[in-house]
Amino acid sequence: MTTEIWHNPRCSKSRAAKAALDEAGIAYTERRYLDDPPTAEELDAVLTRIGAEPWEVARLNEPVAKELDLKNMERDRARWIEVMVANPVLIQRPIVLTGDGRAVVARDPDSVRRVLDSE
């Protein structure tokens, strides 16, 4: 498996992570997850790789999160995953999946650096 980035080109942090991968010469595939949302099984596997629950990587300030009152939704992993798959804008970005089975939400330079240092 190669490195993959779940990317939203409109997001500056996502663009910065992608640029860091490019600059480091790391080969990767780009998944524009808003256009190609993950399945529930894929998101569940990625969350497991990250070591996080869905509510820990949800974008709670998105309008749809407020409409769904996501902050107050019961913390049922399967239900949160279902909601996030149906509304992929709720998935924190960017997510970098490494070839060795790790994953990280790469929103800051330290997270990106951890990915780069291991490749």
Residues designated catalytic? 11
Residue type, 56: E
Q: Count CB atoms within 10 A of the CB of residue 57.
A: 20
Angstrom distance (rounded) from CA 38 to CA 101: 17
Q: Are 102 and 91 in contact (CB under 8 A)?
A: no
Q: Are 71 and 60 in contact (CB under 8 A)?
A: yes
Angstrom distance (rounded) from CA 25 to CA 22: 5
